[in-house]
A = this chain, B = another copy of it.
Amino acid sequence: MPGTPREPRSGRPTLRDVAEKAEVSAMTASRVLRDDPRVLPATRDRVRAAAAALGYRPNELARRLRLGRGTGLVGLVVTNLANPFYSRLALGLDSVLGADGLKTVIGNTGQDPEAERELVADLVGRRVDGIVAVPAGDDQCHLAAAAADGVPVVLASRPPRGFAADCVLVDDYGGARDATARLLARGHRRIGFLGSPPAVYTGTERLRGYRAALSAASLCPDARHIRQGQTQPHEAERAAAELLALPDPPTALFCSNNRNTIGAFRAVRAARADVALAGFDDFELADALGLPLTLVTYDSDELGRAAGRLLLDRIRERGTADTAGTADTADTADTADTAGTADTAGADARRVVLATELVEYGG
């Protein structure tokens, strides 16, 4: 005979084990454990006892496979979980998903685009019910592919490029503009900029905001005062130090994220320079640095929660829509071949933008 018939399976007790022990069929056991009412109380108790004795836990995977309702898993794709920004995102996301019985699978790419591709492919293979991603580079083909495969995708902090997907953004432009404007209002005229690599969406948006504020004040930003490309505080510190060493150094700095703000702070303090500091992102102890600091803040947990809500909507949408095709009982057989084109029906992509707020520290 092909399969080994009734070998004492290695691992955990199965539904049939429970059924045999309770001397009922697997079906009855299944009903009991699913709290199906139409079961004789006596039988129910026997089954429950058997299950308890065996330490039976239903195999959620097999069940989901049978039900075809998805895995109850959502993939989270980020570059660096150690960054508080991402860990808060993860937390906010998980809190919303968890309330709906979904679990979050983390995928840390460490800035590697190739790792990101593989990760997304792996998640799709695992049949996650959805993906929340903060893509590292500007190539989002893998996400587009996943979306085309019918996996709901939500982007956080960056908009989709080249395909349709929901996203939740921060008001990068407005926040940066307002913070820069505040420096201008204090009389600063030479304001430097420290930011992430140009490929990073948030960084360039914030640069746009910075430029807009300068333009509004009829100022032309000095190209030598703009430094992009710093990812870590020590890189930012070095870049800031170089700006401060210029013949006519800036009297204020705007930093496009907390890594750059912290680096700039160190440089300014080391140089004992009288330079005003402003930056995007709040961070712990920002108020304790002994330097005046203007920060653009926002609710970073809400970023994750909003992403979670968008995703949940799409997941539910997919669950109910099902076979709501246009033509009914179509028998034109040759159309079957052209299947496989994106199934991104539903409503158009939504975009949530989180407001920012300016706070002043130190002084």
Contacts and interface: CB of A to CB of B under 8 A. Distances in A.
A94 B82 contact: no
Interface in A108-133: 108, 121-122, 124-127
Interface in A237-283: 262, 265-266, 269, 283
B65 A125 contact: no
Interface string A69-88: 00111000000111010111
A337 to B, nearest CB: 8
A25 interface: no
Interface in A296-319: 301
A215 interface: no
B103 A122 contact: yes
B12 A150 contact: yes
Contacts of A127: 59-61
A98 B53 CA distance: 36
Contacts of A11: 68, 150
A90 B61 contact: no
A54 interface: yes
Contacts of A10: 68, 322-323
Contacts of A108: 91, 94-95, 98
Interface stretch (A182-190, A222-230, A284-292, A353-361): A284-292
Interface centre among A84, A106, A145, A289 (most CB of B within 10 A): A106
Contacts of A104: 105-106
B73 A81 contact: no
A184 to B, nearest CB: 27
A103 B94 contact: no
Given A61-B127, A288-B289, A94 B81 contact: yes
A84 B269 CA distance: 25
B84 A84 contact: yes
A83 to B, nearest CB: 8
Interface centre among A59, A265, A288, A301 (most CB of B within 10 A): A288
5 smallest A-B Cβ distances: which pairs?
A87-B87, A60-B125, A81-B91, A60-B126, A285-B285
